[in-house]
Structure 1
Amino acid sequence: MGSPKHVILVPFPAQGHILPLVYLARKLAAQGLSVTIINIDSIHENLTRTWKHIEHQDIRLESIPMRLKAPKGFGADNLNDATAFMDAICDLEEALAALLEITKLSHHVSCVISDFYHLSAPLAAARAGIPSVCFWSGAAAWASIHYSHSSLAAAGLSPLEDSDTSKLVSNLPGLKPFRAEYLPSYYRKEFYEKNGGEKYLSLSLRRVEIDSCILANSIYELEPQVFDAMQQFVTGKFVSVGPLFPLKGGGASEMEASLRPESRGSLEWLDNQAPNSVLYVSFGSVASLTRAEMEELTQGLEASQKQFLMVASRDLAPEVDESFFREFGERLSRSGAGMLVSWVPQLAVLQHGSVGGFLTHCGWNSTLESMSHGVPMLGWPCHSDQNTNCKFILEDQGIGMELRDKTRTGISMAIRSLMASEEMRSRASHIERAAREAASENGSSYKKLHAFVHSIK
């Protein structure tokens, strides 16, 4: 027998992009592949402090230097100057190509699998003579929109003027016509022009010519029309492999790769709550709320009279001082209305039987984790593809609704409606079963990932 196939994974430096590639690494290693994960140096140093080696899995961690330091990954502060961060990513090509060449001396590298937004990775792989594979970290619906950039530009919707958000977007692969307000936020003219939208969209779309395959972290049964349409759009290369994270009972605690300290006390608190009684509230690692929004949100949560577990700190609301969070937390402790923490092991929280709803920013990881565990959602999209996910997944799939009235009264009413909706809970349970079947042996995602492993040389 020869040595095992070796694959290299290159995540985009952000918490929400590193996690799914770590889960992919675990899946590939479980099938006998040797895996190397290459992060930027500041994230590598952070990750190695908590990394858990699993017996019989050959996964190694390597790093390359990046001039910008981001030990917690791309954050809300980077949204103000995304160009600088993306330029730093593009500048990694030389260092990454050099590391790939060194790795080739001791391993036969079958391919480099890199996050769609890591624009230098496929170029570095090509320089090293290694096949490149794209990891699409979001929904297929978002991919349909992103790969249709030329059509959107021809229709005058890229960049998107605020006055054009009510226009109808049609003829995109696998998608029914929808209003332009649901296009990813990076199409909005102000952000697009400030952050080099044309440049980075063009660079990202070049990957179609370079990558041999696109592994999509979604479920075929969730978006069948889009996956079928995308097969024609990128000629048989777009395949579903999600969900990659372990489902309930699958050892989630052994799979974590958090860049922030997690509160285990939140799980103990959940243990003492009634089934389906708790609203989980989290906006991920990149979103930012104003002081006014935070005040309305906290007041609305308390007014809802529903138990809640909230993840929040100054990273989420830079305008709010520490005393606001301290006083809010103390008030919750006295009243018993909920619990405030700075970070949690989210997958374990969403798997917990006491969690009955999720107020979320609609980031794809959160959306996929929530529906894969039968938890209906209340969407508060903030940026990127989050409004797209809210439309095509929460609302179109009937497993949630968008929070449009962000006053304390609107928030409290929406929370009560979400927590009381048996219809959304039933639909979310249906999606949960579909996710479990897709990831199980002989399920659609399992078989496609298995076929991918056997196709690489």
Structure 2
Amino acid sequence: MEDHGRTRWPMVVLTTSPFHGHMTPTLQLATTLHAKGFSIAIAHSKLNPPNPSNHPSDFTFLPLSDNLPAIEDSSSFPNFVNTLNNNCKPSFKEHLTRLISEGNKSIVVIYDNVMFFTGVVAVDLNLAAVLFRTSSAAFFPAFLARRQLRQQGRFLEEDFVMQDIVPNHHPLRYKDLPFCKSSIEDWKQHVANFNLQAHPSAVIMNTIKFLEHESLTRIHDHFHVLVFAVGPLHIVTPSPYIGSYQEDTGCISWLDKQPPKSVVYISFGSLATIDAKVLTEMALGLAKSNQRFLWAVRPGLVGGSEWLELLPDGFVEETRERGLIVKWAPQKEVLAHFAVGGFWSHCGWNSCLESISWGVVMICQPFSVDQGVNARYVSYVWKIGLELERVERGEIERMVKRVMVDDEGEQMRVRVNGMKEMVKEAVENRGSSQESLEGLVNFILSY
């Protein structure tokens, strides 16, 4: 875009949460808007802050006083989010008030839905408040369905057969609805947090129209504002890794030596945890499958463990010739590698988008929040993966072989490669995501 009149453009203030799965797409969106000519400020918690050196030098960073030592210190996720919002709100209001007093008369706030206080502050200051949801579009109507059940005084495990389809929300089953295993008190806090959110001026989604058209329509019908599907942002604006774990790039050299589409990559993201029994069943299933694998076993993946000491005796030696275990892998580079033919994942939305973008079929093992919804769409709607619903060594062996060896896996590979090409079209000039991005730019300029 031209620089003419740039000093009169709105400043865009983006607020990101301390969760890396949320922070990454928010910073990618910030970089995208900066490239369009906007001045950018990033409001962030002091817990897990972004590194300014990874971003353009003229980004402004606005630290928020969260007074929280670590994410893991909270036993209840919704209570943690509520505390985070309450603690950060005063300093965010101070930052915005100062920016306005310095002459920034036009400010547009784009906020992560986890940091819902920012929308409230923006509206109180008569600023545009644009909601950025970093989850799949399908997650939102699923959340509303779960909330409706709670308003009716009904509880999933008590009142429903969990494998039954939710009326008006096909193909989701009750077991797929968000926060399925939350306690009643946690769920009440989830709903309370949601009810505190301001009505947004617009909604941004890190997704693609062809992938989630129906769900995007439901979001529009709920908010009655413009909805911009600008994803996948990791393709629109490639960015450096921002996580807190050191990437083991040596695994790429190992992949270079493997045959095409022969390796299953395993990673459950930065927050999911499993118990020792699940780790054992995963390892034994992998060993029995006789397939090549790259396994990211994050320190802390199993509570109380240092790293690999809980793996079954002899597993590492038995699989040494066809397997590699690392603490943390450069996921985008791994999924883009010719040797990788499958992705065993927790089905966080960023991981799903990355897998689709590089044409990799999935084994879905969801844990919480939106992951059950994503896994259902991957396995049942898009049919580019399989959901592992029983973590048992024999089932894991069969699942890995179905994806990596059988004709079923090859058929899924054809489908996901077709979607990969559609993603390329969406992010190119005149593609749906580029058109949505231009629509978002014009929307911001209207302020």
**TM exceeding 0.5:** yes
Please give the residue correspondences for 1:76-225 in structure 2 after superposition, counting only pairs within 5 Å: 78=74, 80=76, 82-106=78-102, 107-149=104-146, 151-154=148-151, 156-157=153-154, 159-162=155-158, 164=160, 165-171=162-168, 175-176=169-170, 178-184=172-178, 186-188=179-181, 191-195=182-186, 197-207=187-197, 209-225=198-214
Asked whether the equivalents of residues 117 and 204 of structure 1 are also in contact (C-alpha less than 8 Å), the reply is: no
Cα distance change of structure 1 residues 301 and 326 upon mapping to structure 2, 3 Å threshold: closer
Distance 1:262 1:422 in 2: 30
Asked whether the equivalents of residues 78 and 85 of structure 1 are also in contact (C-alpha less than 8 Å), the reply is: no
Q: Deviations over 1:325-363 (max 9, x none)?
A: 699899259722211111122112111111110000111
Distance 1:329 1:53 in 2: 45
Structure 1 residue 278: Cα displacement: 0.9
Matched, 1:438 2:409: no
Q: Which residue of 1 aligns with 2:33?
A: 28
Q: Structure 2: which amino acid aligns with 1:65?
A: S
Asked whether the equivalents of residues 300 and 307 of structure 2 are also in contact (C-alpha less than 8 Å), the reply is: no
Q: Which residue of 2 aligns with 1:384?
A: 369
Structure 1 residue 23: Cα displacement: 1.1
Deviates more, 1:146-155 or 1:83-92: 146-155
Q: 2:22 aligns with which of 17, 41, 44?
A: 17
Q: Which residue of 1 aligns with 2:412?
A: 424
Q: Deviations over 1:227-277 (max 9, x none)?
A: 223322221433311111127xx7x4x432222211111222222222111
Deviates more, 1:125-134 or 1:146-155: 146-155
Distance 1:349 1:178 in 2: 30
Q: How many residues align?
A: 435
Q: Any unmatched runs of 5+ in structure 2? A: none
Q: Deviations over 1:411-452 (max 9, x none)?
A: 111101111211110111111112221122211111112111
Please give the residue correspondences for 1:8-407 in structure 2 after superposition, counting only pairs within 5 Å: 8-44=13-49, 47-48=50-51, 51-54=53-56, 58-70=58-70, 74=71, 78=74, 80=76, 82-106=78-102, 107-149=104-146, 151-154=148-151, 156-157=153-154, 159-162=155-158, 164=160, 165-171=162-168, 175-176=169-170, 178-184=172-178, 186-188=179-181, 191-195=182-186, 197-207=187-197, 209-246=198-235, 252=238, 254-322=239-307, 324=309, 331=316, 335-407=320-392
Q: Once superposed, what is the RMSD of the aligned Cα atoms?
A: 2.5
Distance 1:345 1:104 in 2: 40
Asked whether the equivalents of residues 283 and 312 of structure 2 are also in contact (C-alpha less than 8 Å), the reply is: no
Deviates more, 1:6-15 or 1:225-234: 225-234
Q: Provide runs of 4+ in structure 1 moved above 4 Å.
A: 77-82, 154-157, 325-330
Cα distance change of structure 1 residues 263 and 93 upon mapping to structure 2, 3 Å threshold: same
Deviates more, 1:238-247 or 1:148-157: 148-157
Asked whether the equivalents of residues 170 and 177 of structure 1 are also in contact (C-alpha less than 8 Å), the reply is: no
Alignment TM-score, normalising by the size of structure 2? 0.90
Q: Structure 2: which amino acid aligns with 1:286?
A: L
Asked whether the equivalents of residues 122 and 128 of structure 2 are also in contact (C-alpha less than 8 Å), the reply is: yes
Cα distance change of structure 1 residues 213 and 358 upon mapping to structure 2, 3 Å threshold: same
Distance 2:308 2:404 in 1: 30
Cα distance change of structure 1 residues 108 and 346 upon mapping to structure 2, 3 Å threshold: farther
Structure 1 residue 399: Cα displacement: 0.5
Q: Structure 1: which amino acid aligns with 2:43?
A: I
Structure 1 residue 298: Cα displacement: 1.3
Cα distance change of structure 1 residues 227 and 319 upon mapping to structure 2, 3 Å threshold: same
Distance 2:151 2:185 in 1: 21
Q: Any unmatched runs of 5+ in structure 1? A: none
Cα distance change of structure 1 residues 335 and 144 upon mapping to structure 2, 3 Å threshold: same
Q: Structure 2: which amino acid aligns with 1:452?
A: L
Cα distance change of structure 1 residues 328 and 262 upon mapping to structure 2, 3 Å threshold: farther
Asked whether the equivalents of residues 122 and 129 of structure 2 are also in contact (C-alpha less than 8 Å), the reply is: yes
Cα distance change of structure 1 residues 53 and 181 upon mapping to structure 2, 3 Å threshold: closer
Structure 1 residue 109: Cα displacement: 4.5
Asked whether the equivalents of residues 290 and 319 of structure 1 are also in contact (C-alpha less than 8 Å), the reply is: no
The percentage of aligned residue pairs carrying the same residue is: 27
Cα distance change of structure 1 residues 330 and 101 upon mapping to structure 2, 3 Å threshold: farther
Q: Which residue of 1 aligns with 2:440?
A: 452
Cα distance change of structure 1 residues 293 and 177 upon mapping to structure 2, 3 Å threshold: closer
Q: Deviations over 1:7-28 (max 9, x none)?
A: 1111121011111111111111
Alignment TM-score, normalising by the size of structure 1? 0.88
- Indicate the SS of the match to 1:169: coil
Q: Structure 1: which amino acid aligns with 2:191?
A: L
Structure 1 residue 199: Cα displacement: 3.5
Asked whether the equivalents of residues 313 and 325 of structure 1 are also in contact (C-alpha less than 8 Å), the reply is: no
Distance 2:171 2:30 in 1: 37
- Indicate the SS of the match to 1:42: coil
Distance 1:177 1:307 in 2: 33
Cα distance change of structure 1 residues 321 and 132 upon mapping to structure 2, 3 Å threshold: same
Cα distance change of structure 1 residues 300 and 326 upon mapping to structure 2, 3 Å threshold: closer
Cα distance change of structure 1 residues 382 and 127 upon mapping to structure 2, 3 Å threshold: same
Asked whether the equivalents of residues 265 and 343 of structure 2 are also in contact (C-alpha less than 8 Å), the reply is: yes
